[in-house]
Amino acid sequence: MKQGVAYAGMAGAMWGMVLMVPQLLPEFSPVLLACARFVLLGGVSLLLLLPMRAALRRVRLADVWMLARLALVGNLLYFMCLVAAIQRLGVAPASLIVGVLPLTITLYGRNDRGAVALSRLVGPLALILLGMLCVNLQTFAVEQGDAADKLIGLVYGVCALACWTWYATHNSRYLNQCGHLDSHQWSVFSGVMTGVFSLLLVAALWWWQPQQLQVQASLERWQLFWLFSLGCALFGSWLAGVLWNAAAKRMPLTLSGQLIVFETVFALLYAFIWRQSGPSLLEAAAIVLVVGGVCWSMRQHEPAVQGVVA
């Protein structure tokens, strides 16, 4: 279990960096940021696929169907919704909304093998919900800005939450039953599929709505855009995906779902460093409640994990 937690922590650190990109490049739309990141991911994954011809022959039609759904929902749609939420709410509120993933994944995966009875998770999940309440109080009662725009950002955040809840549960379940492909191979195939869909989206926008791909920005900003997009593709998608899939293979879904909180913790840390200030009182309360709830849940999962390993 410790190895799985370490893998999940490293993946969360990389995903946390990805959440800073929309804040650093506010003039670029969610669609443009998502397409650039995932087209580059597709190119990187295609290079990694070249020496994996033997694994390619083991891919089944069911694998392709699952990869297609994971690419659309868990990569493209999720990232576009998340970027839109960050640009309207800021990194800290948006990442804390997505931080409720431990709750949604636990509820969604409650019938999976190794899952802990919900009666034992009432306390931890209550702490996480209280943390989310602090997030919303901070966003709507304290932060300045247009209330309608905040509400739209909240809707985008909830949509991102729903997308990744579905992605995390179905990806974990399929990996655990897919014995003919390892986590690295699965990540490479997922990257290729995501790149294909991203190229199709770019082609569709270029044909029907080219203004979506046009941004008034200096050459320096465009250079930053491509540099950050490449970093997101290499570290936030490929490497983080490999680490997360390796973690998912080593623990039950309800525990791996809790460890997504690492993404929230690192995103908050990076955000506070960027704005050169510590958390507000409500943000600090949210962090303590969410992290405390997840740590409590991990303790509740230890007997279940030992039973699965045995």
HEC readout, 122-149:
HHHHHHHHHHHHHHHHHHHHHCCCCHHH
Sign of the four-CA dihedral 97, 275, 260, 244: positive
Q: What is the pLDDT of residue 305?
A: 52
- Residues 97 and 255: their CA atoms lie apart, in Å, by 19
Comparing 6-20, 89-103, 109-123, 153-167, the range with the smallest average pLDDT is 109-123
Rounded CA-CA distance 262/40 in Å is 25
How do residues 163-218 score in pLDDT, each as one tens digit? 989 998 888 888 878 878 877 888 889 999 999 999 999 999 889 888 877 888 89
Q: pLDDT band for 309, please (50, 70, 90 cuts).
A: very low
**What pLDDT is stored for residue 272 in this prediction?**
86
* pLDDT score of 42: 94
Distance CA(61)–CA(117), nearest Å, equals 35
* Runs of H (alpha helix) within the chain: 2-18, 21-24, 30-49, 53-56, 61-69, 78-89, 91-98, 101-108, 122-137, 147-177, 183-208, 219-231, 240-248, 253-258, 261-275, 281-309
The 10s digit of each residue's pLDDT in 72-106 is 999 999 999 999 999 888 887 888 788 778 778 77
Confidence of residue 162 (pLDDT cuts 50, 70, 90): very high
- Of 240, 237, 234, 255, give the one whose Cα is nearest residue 176: 255
Task: Report the range of poorest mean pLDDT among 76-85, 236-245, 252-261.
Answer: 252-261
Q: Which of 126-135, 179-188, 226-235 holds the top average pLDDT?
A: 226-235
Mean pLDDT, to the nearest integer, of 252-258? 67
Q: What mean pLDDT comes out for the span 105-119?
A: 70
Query: Worst-scoring range by mean pLDDT, 11-15, 72-76, 130-134, 145-149?
Result: 145-149
Ranked by mean pLDDT, the top range of 88-97, 121-130, 221-230, 274-283 is 221-230
C-alpha dist (Å) from residue 225 to 91, 96, 220 = 18, 25, 9
